[in-house]
Amino acid sequence: MEVVLDLCGVNLTHDLVVEVLERFRHARRPAFRFFCGAGQRAEYSHDSRTYNKMMFILGKSRQFEIMVTMLEEMGERGLLTIETFEIAIKAFCEAKERRKQLGFSS
């Protein structure tokens, strides 16, 4: 994916990354691969909007370990927002509620 972006000469912007992640909102793996690849480009750096979009996708697919890692990374970069916490709390609560509905409450 990174090679294709380089060959096409695509100039990454936060709006473009959010749009691509929105398109892949139901496909966690390609979305996360794109997100990581974009973040490694020298001329680009994620902002809180792109992180939050990826956090939403991870939350919907219950990728909690990756979410926690991203929360730590966002904290180190000073990118945590109220929206970030809302996304994380909602994802964790929804997972807990589903466990209760299935009879796995602890």
Tell me the C-alpha distance between 1 and 38, whole Å: 10
Tell me the C-alpha distance between 94 and 60, whole Å: 9
Where are the chain's structural domains? 2-101
Q: What is the pTM of this model?
A: 0.84
Which distant-in-sequence residues (6+ apart) come within 8 Å of 27 by Cβ? none
Sequence-separated contacts (24+) of 29-33 with Cβ below 8 Å: 31/57, 32/57, 32/58, 32/63, 32/66, 33/1
34-85 pLDDT tens trace: 999 999 888 899 999 999 999 999 999 999 999 999 999 999 999 999 999 9
Looking at residue 12, what DSSP letter applies?
-
pLDDT grade, residue 98 (50/70/90)? low
